[in-house]
Amino acid sequence: QPQLRESGGDSVQAGGSLRLSCVVSGFTTSYFCIGWFRQVSGKEREGVAVLDIDDGSTYYADSVKGRFTLSQDNAKNTLYLQMNSLKPEDTAMYYCAADELMCRGKPDNGLGTGVIYEYDYWGQGTPVTVSS
């Protein structure tokens, strides 16, 4: 059974950095789009950054461009999200998700509204709190 397991969430001060990890396991079919999403209680889940596995293309939400960076370690089946210059508005539960459809085949390259419906596989989330 496919599993995505996030870790690395923590409480930091504004301006600080964190690296989130997502370990992927159990896929018997290929997935082509994987990425990070976040949700604040009472608000819709939003896309943060996604990766097209086939060509390595990455797509970032405008709110994190220049601050967050995706990377992967294929040997460890792990996707990372390096988050720098963190802001209080980055506070959220962060989720890793994957899908068999390429990111670029989804609305807004997989970062649009309704992301929860665009991805079939989700992790349990890891919390990030940024204090001012």
- Three-state SS letters, the chain: CCEEEEECCCEEECCCCEEEEEEEECCCCCCCEEEEEEECCCCCCEEEEEEECCCCCEEECCCCCCCEEEEEEHHHCEEEEEECCCCHHHCEEEEEEEECCCHHHCHHHHCCCCHHHHCCEECCCEEEEEEC
Q: State the pLDDT confidence band at 36, using cuts at 50, 70 and 90.
A: very high
CA atoms of 9 and 95, how far apart (whole Å): 10
Does the pLDDT at position 94 exceed 90? yes
Q: What is the pLDDT of residue 69?
A: 98
Rounded to an integer, the average pLDDT of 82-99 is 98
Other beta carbons within 10 Å of 28? 6
List all residues 6 or more positions away from 41 whose beta carbon is below 8 Å from its beta carbon: none
Q: State the pLDDT confidence band at 116, using cuts at 50, 70 and 90.
A: confident
Does the pLDDT at position 52 exceed 90? yes
Q: State the pLDDT confidence band at 28, using cuts at 50, 70 and 90.
A: confident
Quote the tokens at residue 127: 């919390």
Q: What is the pLDDT of residue 31?
A: 84
Q: Residues of the chain with pLDDT > 90: what percent?
A: 89
Q: What is the pLDDT of residue 21?
A: 98
